[in-house]
Every structure is written in structure tokens, then in C-alpha cells.
Chains A and B, each alone.
Chain A
Amino acid sequence: MDRKNFLKNSLGLAGIAVAAPSLFRSELISDEATINNSTKNILSCSVTNSETEGPFPTHTPSSLVQTNIVGDRTGVAFTMNIYIKNTNANCGAYQGVLVDVWHCDKDGNYSEYGGTQMQQTNYTNNHFLRGRQTTDANGLVTFTSIFPGWYQSRATHIHVHIYKPDGTSLLVTQIAFPEGTTSAVYNVNVNGTSYGYTKGMTGYTYNANDNVFSDGTSNEMGAVSGYLSVGYILTHTIYVAGVSNLGTQETSGNKNFKVGQNYPNPFRDETVFPIVLNEKSTVNIELFDFSGRKLATVISQQKLSAGKQEIKMSRNQLKSGMYVAKITIVNSQGTFKEDLKVLVN
């Protein structure tokens, strides 16, 4: 915006502001006088720029980076121990990845802006029950929180997002809770009224009817121990397909495809290999065990067209465990090989 336009546009705002206290008697003032007067004011105002800076700003981490995520919430004490393991590194501890968790409070509410309303609370405590930690040498992150309540149509759950330090997502998942009259969920919601849990279990959505967990929770079920009086501890292990230590990529030209990690992984019944091809290619996928024995041919010398291809593999007779899928892609750029670690539950 050039200076002339700036003055002209700003004048619009100032003009209105002048009119208001005069009870819209601006007709008493000639246009010329208004312009001169307002221009003067704008010029004196324009010295001030739009910066907010005080002296010496310092780089600070997100307010999410904290172990204690209780904020201003109350409830039954709850500790989360979440272990992250890398399926592409023999399911060893995955150090150095970021783990975000978030869950609802005892009444089933999440920390967020209240609709279009202005945030009325103090800016320092807008956030509750959300946190971020980096896994240690054991792949462990720990959060101090309160036991989550529940809300309509969902079973009790914790949201988890695991990603690499560069921000690339590894997995977005949820942790389910055990049920039954001896469970922490039951105990807290039925017997925890003195801690503020007032919903009981009437109308609760059980895992079997939950739209996220109803396809099975064997992967997602956390182990919960403890007592109402001392609080509960959740322990859970999450497997992600992280940075591979196989790395047996052979290239003889410019790579013009992308092989994604199969999903789900681990899987029980069926998994999908997503492959994006930039040109028509011949694709081979074979499954090996870790001793190098070939177990199955998923596809053999199949000619696939450019675009996103999804190759399905069913479990058949595979036992639970770890396998390697060797993918060979042949096209005008050369012959390419990539290995993926595949987990069967």
C-alpha cells in the first residue's frame, strides 16, 4: 500500500470514530476540516508500528512441552507411562521421538477455545490436559494428569500422536481403557463423586460399541493399575514404523516412485502396501522371515500403471512375529529394491 492510500484508508476508520462521540453531528463539520484534522492524527499515529516486542525476546518451547498437564483441572491422580517401540528396528526402544497426548477432563471437556467467544481466562492457563514429551533411551514418556472422564458416544480414551523430531507423523492413535466392575473406569466414575466425577456409568459407551475401538482393542488397550485413593497408573506400549535400520535400497537411476510403510502395521488379518508410481512399472513383492527364508510371493512381476497403487496382503498362515517384505520395482529409470519391516499380531 502506498502512503497516499494508507492515509486515505485509515481516514475511513478515524472518520467514523470522530463521528460517534459527536452523536453523528458530523454534518456540522465540513469535509475539508475533517480531512485535515484526521490526517494530522493519522500521521502522529503512524509513528507507532504494529510490533509487540519488548526487549530481548528469547526462543521458548511450546507450552505443550510439560510433564504435568493437569493445568487448572481437578480429579483422581493419573500417571501415564507410554513406551514407544520401533518396528523397523527390531521393536527396540524408540528414543528421541515426540509424543503428544491429550484427553478430556472429569466432565468430558477438552481444552480449546470456547467457540467464537473471546478467551476470557488468563492467557497463561488456557491449556490443560495436553502435553508433549520426547522419548528417553527406554522409549518412555511420562505424564502426570488426572483420570479422564467420558462423554457421549465415546469410551474413555487418551489421544496420542507420535512424530519424528522434524514433525513428520509416525502414528496418530488412541489408548483404550479396560472395563468391568473392577476396572479403574468403573471405580472412578461410580465411586469418584468426591473427586468430582458425577456421571456414573449410565449412558457410557463401552469399547465394543465405540466407533474407534469396536474393531478390536488388543493393540490399543492400556494397562491400568492403582486405587481411587492413591491414583492410577497407565502403562502402554505403542509400536510405530520408524526410521528403518534395514536401509537396503539399491538404485541404478533416479528414483521415481514412493513406497510407503504398509498399514496397518502390525496387522492381524490384512495389510496394504501403498506404492506411488510416476510411470508404468513392474512390481514384485515377496515376504521373508528374519532368517532369510522366503515365505510368500505377494505379487510377481505385476505390471502396474502410474499413480497410487495399493497392494493387499492377507495373513494366511503367518504366525505372529516380524517379517521383511522385499519390494522390487523395475521401470525406465532402472531397478529399485526396498525392504519394509512387517509385523503380524
Chain B
Amino acid sequence: MMLPCFLLIKTKVMRAKIKLAFRIVIDQNSEMVWDQYIFEDTYFEYKIQHQVFDDPENPVKNYWELLAKNPQAGKMPFLLSSAVVNYVTQLKGEIKSLPDVLGNTFFSFESFKLDLISSNIEDPSKHKIGLTFYTPELFLIDIIDNKYLLSNNSDNKNSFETFMFAFHPQVSISYYNFPE
């Protein structure tokens, strides 16, 4: 079973620059306090901004309807992100629930993006947002036993300080820079 992996390490070293992305979905059923604050504030912001893009003569309630009638409403995710920025700042650039294998280095991020899955000005249960956090550029050295072997140091040297992150269902490689 271990043989193919072992062969891989021998035959191919990856050494690419990557960014990892981690996405969560927040809705009315979210239980963590941080998530609930974001739910309340983004929903309030949605109801405010919906009125900016809606047609008073022929109003709609759902985000998808608003988007169909007024493409300008595509700015909505960005506008809602203003209600989230100060909560993201509280995380101090780390997702504490995503530790590395040793448990003392955490998933670090330098940017985030909000996506609006759905919303409705009268039905809060339809308000669902996604938040995606992006790491800074990391040096991917290899994947061993379903774990990313990573380094913050991308200088072209032969020895690195490294750390390992296990695969996670909500973590994806979002950027890949082929090695030269």
C-alpha cells in the first residue's frame, strides 16, 4: 500500500507555489457566535442594499430575482463584505479550527471573499453566504499521506522549515504557480 507513495517521493518533487482556500457557509442555522454576528449583520446589510438596486415600481424579494432584473446588484457580495471585514479582523489572520499536524500552527489567511448564495428581504432562512479565506503564497513541497508538506520560505534552497496540513473537505488549492 505505501509503495506507490514511496516511489513518488523518490521520483518527483512538486515544489510549486500555491494558495490554499478554505470556505465556510453561514446561514440562520449557524451556531457559533462569530457566525451568528455575521449572519445578522450581513442580513441587515442585504436588506439595506436590496432597496438600492430594487425597482420601487415593481419590487422583488429574492436576490436571484433582483440580480435578473438589475445586473448592478452583482455588487451585492462586495457590499455585504463590508459588514464582515471587522469580524474577519478579529481572527487575526488565522483560522484556529484548522491546525497543522503538530497542532500549533494554524491556517493563515491574507484575504477573504464573500459570496452570496441566496437571500430574501422577508425570509431570513433564505439568507446564506459563503466566506472563502485565502492563504498567502505557500511553497508546496509534496503531498505525503494525504497531507500537504508546505513551507513559507520559497527561496530556491535545498533545506526548508516546513509544516504539514491534513486534507480537509473544505480546503482546496485555489492558485498554482508552476515551478520554473
Contacts and interface: CB of A to CB of B under 8 A. Distances in A.
A123 B37 contact: no
Contact of A127 (B41, B85, B95): B85
Top 9 nearest A-B pairs by Cβ distance? A169-B51, A60-B86, A57-B34, A63-B85, A53-B34, A21-B143, A113-B78, A62-B83, A41-B146
Interface string A25-65: 10011000100011001101100111111100111111110
Interface residues of A, number: 56
A16 to B, nearest CB: 10
Given A21-B8, A122-B110, A52 B146 contact: no
Contacts of B97: 48-53
A33 B3 CA distance: 12
A172 interface: yes
A45 B94 contact: no
Given A21-B143, A118-B113, A48 B82 contact: no
A126 interface: yes
B33 A53 contact: yes
Nearest to B48: A167
A20 interface: yes
Contacts of A183: none
Contacts of B95: 52
A209 interface: no
A126 B113 CA distance: 10
A85 interface: no
A5 interface: no
A57 B33 contact: yes
Given A20-B143, A163-B48, A28 B4 contact: yes
Interface in B19-58: 24-25, 32-35, 37, 41, 44-45, 47-48, 51-52, 56
Given A51-B97, A62-B86, 14 more contacts: A21-B5, A21-B8, A22-B4, A29-B1, A29-B4, A45-B168, A45-B169, A48-B97, A53-B91, A62-B45, A62-B82, A112-B78, A123-B85, A123-B111
| Contact residues on B (Cβ < 8 Å of other chain), bracket | 35 or more
Nearest to B33: A57
A33 B170 CA distance: 24
A60 B87 contact: yes
A15 to B, nearest CB: 10
Contacts of B174: 118
A62 B134 CA distance: 21
Interface string B140-179: 0011011000000000000000000011111000110000
Nearest to B94: A54
Contacts of B83: 62-64
A17 interface: yes
